[in-house]
């Protein structure tokens, strides 16, 4: 149990996907201007991460390892993720059209989100059990969402602030990420 | 005329369409591996191989790819090249393979590669696609080298390439600014570099 | 006829591409596989050589390495995994005999740089040299190993893994005799 809590907190806070591992940066800088979008994006990514983790765990343990074809992992994982995103996209389109339009192009872009493929690779490298993998992916996804939300709140304010011309937009967002990252280092003493 | 076109595509990737500084694609692995120049070089070689390979194949078969399945096809082709690079690095340069870690296979979701496949290679002839791939790869490498040079020098006070120590700075050598080799430092440097490049007019502001 | 052909073509095309991809990858894999295994073996060998300077050969059986010099048996070694902060910590543990640790070597880890990553430093690893297996614990837990400041989790992960596996391996060695 202790181990699971450590994995969860480590993935969510200290080894935060965006601030420490640099995974999931594209949507981080693109979507995070509005709080509602940030939340939806975070939840969508966490969902895909979760399903992808479970799916790839089974593929890894029942197909790749027994048949000794682990070198196929990259190809298979990414195809599984691509299909998953398609399915999630269709599901959102059917149930919540406003959300679908709000997320726009960033929804299919979850396929190329480093966080999703990243979590499947992390689980495979660390040879986690199914439970550990699930905890890891949830921790990572929630941490991702958390940072996305914090960032959107800050960016809403930044839009109104008077930054120098060359800093406007992406540069100042990057500097904010730096400050956030430094703050998250404080979580190191927690465990 | 064909030679001028080739040269134009080639140089475009280096400044005007520099993948990291202008298109801002592929930040994830770039910031992660830029802790040392060695890693940056290794990553650049990997990206170059994959980009070149995928651009060539996709451009060669662009006329017969059914439109409906083109994205999955691109993905399979790119993933294949990435796996090859992964296996070859693991076998022949194991220390580089260890330091690059999961960021080597993550080349497959590097927006640069899928982006070039979709935006360029699938619509342009073979020679131009090769030029595009080379140009973008060199642009990526240059940007990554600048970032990693700064991070390694400021963060550790010295610079080593392939184990050979090039120089150690006087004051920084003993008291390096460790923040630069840590993740926040990457964000800081990237932000400052982008702002600087905009100020100098090399790239456009928002 | 032409209409059905047009419909089937995408599927056929995808299958063909996937088939070629798999073929290319399995060929690459067969070329690189031996080299990869060789690399891993070579790394273990050099680490064993560093730990046991008089080593001339070693044997591997039941997950335990037995180290020999020209004249005698020098000791044993085994691999273990510590559950660290940022993931698994790969450790090579050397035993001088059934009660004493020869030393440890951290093969790989992904702990926090400047904190947990210092388990790979000689100041931490040297603390294990010559230690009695019973004393392998953090000083705060009654043992002889000083944890790294600010990296208790990483330190404890290494200590726990070394102690537990050492006890287990010694037991299986004694059972064999």
The count of CB pairs under 8 A between chains B and C is 53
Residue C32, chain B, CB below 8 Å: the answer is yes
> In angstroms, what separates the C-alpha of A167 from chain C's closest C-alpha?
30
Q: Is residue A8 part of a domain?
A: no
Find the residue in B nearest to C11 (Cα).
Answer: B69
Token couple for B201 = 């007019």
Token couple for B22 = 């202008």
Neighbours of chain B (3+ CB pairs under 8 A): A, C
Q: What is the pLDDT averaged over residues B130-145?
A: 88
Q: Are B19 and B113 a contacting pair, CB within 8 Å?
A: no
Q: Is residue A51 part of a domain?
A: yes
Contact B72 C113 (CB under 8 A): no
What is the SS3 assignment for B83?
helix
The two most distant CA atoms of chain C are separated, in Å, by: 82
Beta strands in B108-202 (DSSP E): 158-161, 164-168
Test the B interface: residue of C5, C14, C19, C45 with most B CBs within 10 Å: C14
Taking 90 as the threshold, does the pLDDT of residue B82 lie above it? yes
**What was the pLDDT predicted at B206?**
53
Number of DSSP helices (H) and strands (E) in chain B, helices first: 8, 2
> pLDDT tens digits, chain A, 191 residues: what are they?
677 887 888 888 878 888 888 888 877 777 667 788 888 888 889 999 999 999 999 998 888 887 878 888 888 999 999 999 988 888 888 888 887 887 777 788 888 888 899 999 988 887 788 888 899 899 999 999 998 888 888 888 887 888 787 777 788 888 888 888 888 877 766 55
Residue C150: list chain A partners with CB under 8 A: 188-189
Q: What is the pLDDT averaged over residues C114-130?
A: 82
Residue C142, chain B, CB below 8 Å: the answer is no
Contact A10 C86 (CB under 8 A): yes
If 0-12 CB within 10 Å is exposed, 13-18 middle and 19+ buried, where does residue A30 land?
middle
* Total tally of structural domains belonging to chain A: 1
Sign of CA dihedral C158, C164, C167, C170: negative
Residue C46, chain B, CB below 8 Å: the answer is no
Using CA atoms of B136, B140, B142, B147 in order, give the dihedral in degrees to the nearest 10. 160
Who wins on pLDDT, C8 or B45?
B45
Instruction: Catalogue the long-range contacts made by B58-67 (C-beta closer than 8 Å, 24 or more residues apart).
Output: B58/B117, B58/B121, B58/B122, B58/B129, B59/B121, B59/B122, B59/B124, B59/B125, B59/B126, B59/B128, B59/B129, B59/B130, B60/B126, B62/B121, B62/B122, B62/B123, B64/C13, B65/B122, B65/C13, B66/C9, B66/C10, B66/C13
**What was the pLDDT predicted at A175?**
87
Residue ranges making up the domain that contains B65: 2-148
Residue C53, chain B, CB below 8 Å: the answer is no
Residue ranges making up the domain that contains A111: 15-183
What is the SS3 assignment for B84?
helix
Average pLDDT over all residues of chain B:
82
Residue C86: list chain A partners with CB under 8 A: 10, 15
**What was the pLDDT predicted at B46?**
92
**What was the pLDDT predicted at B80?**
93
Residue C150, chain A, CB below 8 Å: the answer is yes
Q: Which DSSP state fits A108? A: G
Q: How confident is the model at residue B44 (pLDDT cuts 50, 70, 90)?
A: very high
> In angstroms, what separates the C-alpha of B1 from chain C's closest C-alpha?
34
Q: How confident is the model at residue C63 (pLDDT cuts 50, 70, 90)?
A: confident
Closest in A75, A122, A174 to B80, CB measured: A75
**What was the pLDDT predicted at A191?**
53
Contact C10 B69 (CB under 8 A): yes
Q: Which DSSP state fits B117? A: I
Residue A14: list chain C partners with CB under 8 A: 85, 112
CA distance C129 to C68: 19
Residue C29, chain A, CB below 8 Å: the answer is yes
Closest in C24, C32, C39 to B80, CB measured: C24
**What was the pLDDT predicted at C113?**
63
* Total tally of structural domains belonging to chain B: 1
**What was the pLDDT predicted at A51?**
93
Find the residue in A nearest to C22 (Cα).
Answer: A72
**Residue at token pair 């001028």:** B4
φ/ψ of residue C57, rounded to 5: -160, 165
**What was the pLDDT predicted at A3?**
74
Residue C12, chain B, CB below 8 Å: the answer is no
Q: Is residue A77 part of a domain?
A: yes
Above pLDDT 90, what percent of chain B? Answer: 13
Token couple for A115 = 């966080």
Taking 80 as the threshold, does the pLDDT of residue B12 lie above it? no
Q: Is residue A114 part of a domain?
A: yes
Q: What is the pLDDT averaged over residues B149-175?
A: 74
Closest in C13, C36, C108 to B66, CB measured: C13
Who wins on pLDDT, B202 or C77?
C77
**What was the pLDDT predicted at A49?**
92
Q: Is residue B172 part of a domain?
A: no
Contact A127 C87 (CB under 8 A): no
Taking 80 as the threshold, does the pLDDT of residue C177 lie above it? no
Q: What is the pTM of this model?
A: 0.82
CB atoms within 10 A of CB B35: 23
Contact C21 A3 (CB under 8 A): no
Average pLDDT over all residues of chain A:
84
Residue B102, chain A, CB below 8 Å: the answer is yes
Tens-digit pLDDT profile for residues B66-80: 887 888 888 899 999
Residue A26, chain B, CB below 8 Å: the answer is yes
Q: Are B121 and B54 a contacting pair, CB within 8 Å?
A: yes
Contact C13 B73 (CB under 8 A): yes
Residue C112, chain A, CB below 8 Å: the answer is yes
Closest in C86, C88, C115 to A15, CB measured: C86
Q: Is residue A6 part of a domain?
A: no
φ/ψ of residue B34, rounded to 5: -80, 20
> In angstroms, what separates the C-alpha of A40 from chain C's closest C-alpha?
28
Residue B177, chain A, CB below 8 Å: the answer is no
Between the alpha carbon of residue B39 and those of residues B29, B96, B97, B183, the distances in Å are 11, 7, 9, 15
Question: Which of the residue ranges B141-150, B194-203, C130-139 would you say has the lowest mean pLDDT?
Answer: B194-203
**What was the pLDDT predicted at A157?**
82
CA atoms within 13 A on the CB side of C165: 24
Q: How confident is the model at residue B1 (pLDDT cuts 50, 70, 90)?
A: very low
Tens-digit pLDDT profile for residues C9-59: 888 888 888 888 889 988 888 888 888 888 888 888 888 888 888 888 888
């Amino acid at each position: 149990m202790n181990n699971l809590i450590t994995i969860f907190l480590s993935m969510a806070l200290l080894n935060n996907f965006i601030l420490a591992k640099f995974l999931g940066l594209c949507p981080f800088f693109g979507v995070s201007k509005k709080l509602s979008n940030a939340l939806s994006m975070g939840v969508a990514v966490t969902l895909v991460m979760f399903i992808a983790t479970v799916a790839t765990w089974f593929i890894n343990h029942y197909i790749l390892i027994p048949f000794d074809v682990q070198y196929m992992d990259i190809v298979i994982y990414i195809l599984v993720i691509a299909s998953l995103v398609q399915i999630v996209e269709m599901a959102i389109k059917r149930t919540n059209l406003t959300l679908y339009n709000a997320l726009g192009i960033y929804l299919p872009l979850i396929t190329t989100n480093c966080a999703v493929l990243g979590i499947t690779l992390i689980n495979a490298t660390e040879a986690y059990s199914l439970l550990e993998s699930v905890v890891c992916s949830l921790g990572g996804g929630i941490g991702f969402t958390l940072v996305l939300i914090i960032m959107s709140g800050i960016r809403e304010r930044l839009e109104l602030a008077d930054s120098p011309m060359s800093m406007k937009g992406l540069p100042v967002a990057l500097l904010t990420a730096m400050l956030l990252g430094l703050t998250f280092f404080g979580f190191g003493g927690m465990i | 005329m064909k030679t001028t076109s080739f040269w134009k595509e080639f140089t475009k990737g280096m400044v005007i369409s520099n993948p990291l500084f202008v298109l801002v694609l592929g930040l994830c692995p770039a910031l992660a591996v830029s802790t040392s120049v060695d890693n940056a070089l290794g990553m650049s070689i990997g990206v170059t191989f994959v980009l070149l390979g995928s651009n060539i194949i996709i451009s060669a078969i662009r006329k017969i790819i059914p439109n409906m399945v083109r994205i999955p096809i691109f993905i399979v082709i790119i993933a294949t090249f990435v796996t090859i690079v992964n296996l070859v690095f693991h076998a022949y340069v194991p220390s580089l393979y260890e330091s690059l870690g999961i960021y080597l296979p993550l080349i497959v979701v590097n927006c640069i590669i899928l982006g070039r496949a979709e935006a360029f290679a699938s619509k342009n002839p073979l020679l131009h696609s090769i030029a595009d791939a080379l140009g973008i790869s060199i642009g990526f490498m240059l940007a990554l080298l600048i970032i990693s040079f700064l991070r390694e020098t400021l963060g550790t006070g010295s610079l080593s390439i392939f184990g050979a120590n090039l120089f150690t700075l006087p004051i920084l050598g003993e008291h390096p600014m460790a923040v630069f080799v840590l993740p926040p430092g990457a964000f800081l440097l990237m932000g400052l570099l982008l702002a600087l490049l905009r100020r100098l007019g090399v790239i456009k502001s928002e | 006829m032409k209409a059905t052909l047009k419909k089937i073509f995408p599927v056929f095309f995808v299958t063909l591409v996937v088939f070629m991809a798999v073929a290319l990858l399995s060929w690459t894999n067969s070329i690189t596989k031996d080299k990869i295994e060789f690399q891993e073996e070579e790394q273990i060998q050099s680490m064993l050589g560093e730990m046991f300077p008089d080593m001339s050969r070693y044997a591997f059986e039941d997950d335990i390495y037995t180290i020999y010099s020209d004249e005698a048996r020098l000791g044993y070694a085994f691999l273990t995994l510590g559950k660290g902060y940022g993931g698994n910590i790969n450790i090579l543990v050397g035993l001088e005999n059934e009660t004493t640790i020869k030393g440890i070597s951290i093969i790989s880890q992904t702990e926090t740089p400047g904190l947990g990553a210092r388990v790979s430093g000689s100041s931490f690893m040297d603390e294990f040299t010559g230690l009695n297996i019973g004393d392998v614990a953090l000083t705060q837990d009654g043992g002889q190993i000083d944890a790294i400041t600010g990296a208790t989790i990483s330190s404890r992960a290494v200590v726990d893994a070394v102690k537990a596996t050492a006890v287990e391996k010694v037991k299986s060695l004694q059972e064999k005799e």
